[in-house]
Structure 1
Amino acid sequence: MKKITLIAFVLFIGLVSSQAQVKVNPGIRGGLNLARLTNIDNNNMKSDYYIGGLVDIKFNKLFTLQPELTYSRQGSEGMIFYNGLPPEKTKYDLNYVTAGAVAKFYFHGQGFHVLAGPSLDLKVDDNFGRYGFDPIDVDLAFVGGIGYTLPNGLTFEARFKQGLIDIYGYDDFDNGNNDYYYDNVILNQVFQFGISYTFKVK
């Protein structure tokens, strides 16, 4: 019984010590979105912004997990063709509140890092109603990118965000042939260039 108690005590001390090495710090992030929608004719990138907050959970000098909550203005620029009228430029607005978590891997424990993780996007508004369409309220996305963190907590990052669900919720299966036509699916794609700052909490 004494040996079991001693072993349990040693394991408890080890667990407490390992947890004490984990550093948790809040932060803010924001920057430029270059967004587009796939498989739309006469489609161009739309420039807009994203802004939000983060929690930096640093497990060691090589690995950090970063949950994020972000307001992201996405969509696309395109052309509208009316019968008998000249084409008209337009912007498709799709704005989301995104809840995500990226894993960051630091090379040699220094500032340069790669990152990747999932994102759950909840639509807060859009302007598709004027065109007679209604995008669904949820998107799932995958985020990947690179960055560099300075010792003062300032980080510069470049990311690519790929939506995984058609914005109208279509699966686009041909019931006759059971084929999936990827060239018909409309997905969010976003290049993000921005900065973040992590506050040091003692």
Structure 2
Amino acid sequence: MRNFVVLAFVLLIGIQAEAQVKVSPGLRGGLNVSTLTNIDDNSSKTDFYVGGLIDIKFNKFFTLQPEITYSRQGDEGREYFDNGSYRNVNYELNYITFGAVAKFNFNGGGFHILAGPSLDVKVGDNYINSNPEDFDLAIVGGVGYTLPNGLTFEARIKQGLVDIYGYDYYNNDGYYTNDAILNQVFQIGISYTFKTK
């Protein structure tokens, strides 16, 4: 792993040395289809995300894109009552997300794949009987297409890595039992990068 990091750093420096780096601000927004894993009787919730970005273009093949986004997530679950009845509830988990995605353009054209980490800081929720964790770490991956005018269409998957309830899911033998409740979000949206001289 250490050798990989060193190699990536050397390649990045080499790319930067041969190219004129272009930095452009932009805006992004779109649709969230979110859910929480390992919860019975829940379904996905549809909401939105909106934010800003900085497009750091090293060359026609590689771009680094730091982002800050307001993201409304959660799921639709059921609240059960003592008499056996229930009602559907839209559970909200609202985050400010700080991310950085690496974008790789095929043949220097508009089509790209992207991947990167995200730190999500919770700014609100509507949970009554529990207190979800105040942050999440996530991995983002996706595909997109950028038009020459700076308009980009993207589809992403964001997988949370932190159990939102902070439980330790270990059995008596010390093995992880795969019961963690994690954020999982499908995003489809657009972004626009402003042209700079």
TM-score normalized by the length of structure 2: 0.90
RMSD: 1.4
Q: Which residue of 1 aligns with 2:113?
A: 114
Q: Percent identity?
A: 64
Task: Give the unaligned 5+ runs of structure 1.
Answer: 1-14
Q: Which residue of 1 aligns with 2:10?
A: none
- Residue 152, structure 1, aligned to residue 128, structure 2: no
- Residue 178, structure 1, aligned to residue 174, structure 2: yes
* Matched letter for residue 120 of structure 2: D
* Matched letter for residue 71 of structure 2: S
Q: Which residue of 1 aligns with 2:4?
A: none
Shift of 1:59: 0.2
**Is the CA contact 2:56–2:65 (under 8 Å) kept in the aligned structure 1?**
yes
Q: Which residue of 2 aligns with 1:32?
A: 31
Shift of 1:201: 1.1
Secondary structure of residue in 2 paired with 1:108: helix
**Is the CA contact 2:19–2:58 (under 8 Å) kept in the aligned structure 1?**
no
Q: In 1, Cα distance between the equivalents of 2:40 and 2:82?
A: 16
**Is the CA contact 2:170–2:177 (under 8 Å) kept in the aligned structure 1?**
yes
Structure 1 residues 114 and 20, CA gap change in structure 2 (3 angstroms): closer
Residues 63-108 of structure 1, C-alpha deviations (whole Å, 9 max, x = no match): 0000000000000001111110521010110000000000000000
Shift of 1:49: 0.1
Q: 1:130-145 residue pairs with structure 2 within 5 A?
A: 130=128, 132-145=129-142
Q: Which residue of 2 aligns with 1:165?
A: 162
Q: Which residue of 2 aligns with 1:187?
A: 182
Of 183, 194, 197, which residue of structure 2 is paired with 1:199?
A: 194
Q: 1:2-21 residue pairs with structure 2 within 5 A?
A: 18=17, 21=20
Task: Give the unaligned 5+ runs of structure 2.
Answer: 1-13
Q: In 1, Cα distance between the equivalents of 2:131 and 2:100?
A: 28
* Matched letter for residue 58 of structure 1: K
Secondary structure of residue in 1 paired with 2:66: strand
Q: Which residue of 1 aligns with 2:40?
A: 41
Residues 166-187 of structure 1, C-alpha deviations (whole Å, 9 max, x = no match): 001123112x2001110x2100
Q: In 2, Cα distance between the equivalents of 1:171 and 1:103?
A: 32
- Residue 98, structure 1, aligned to residue 97, structure 2: yes
Q: Which residue of 2 aligns with 1:10?
A: none
Q: In 2, Cα distance between the equivalents of 1:20 and 1:112?
A: 20
**Is the CA contact 2:25–2:194 (under 8 Å) kept in the aligned structure 1?**
yes
Q: Give structure 1 regions of 4+ aligned residues with deviation exceeding 6 angstroms.
A: none
Q: Which has the higher helix share?
A: 1
* Matched letter for residue 56 of structure 2: I
TM-score normalized by the length of structure 1: 0.88
Shift of 1:19: 7.5
* Matched letter for residue 164 of structure 1: L
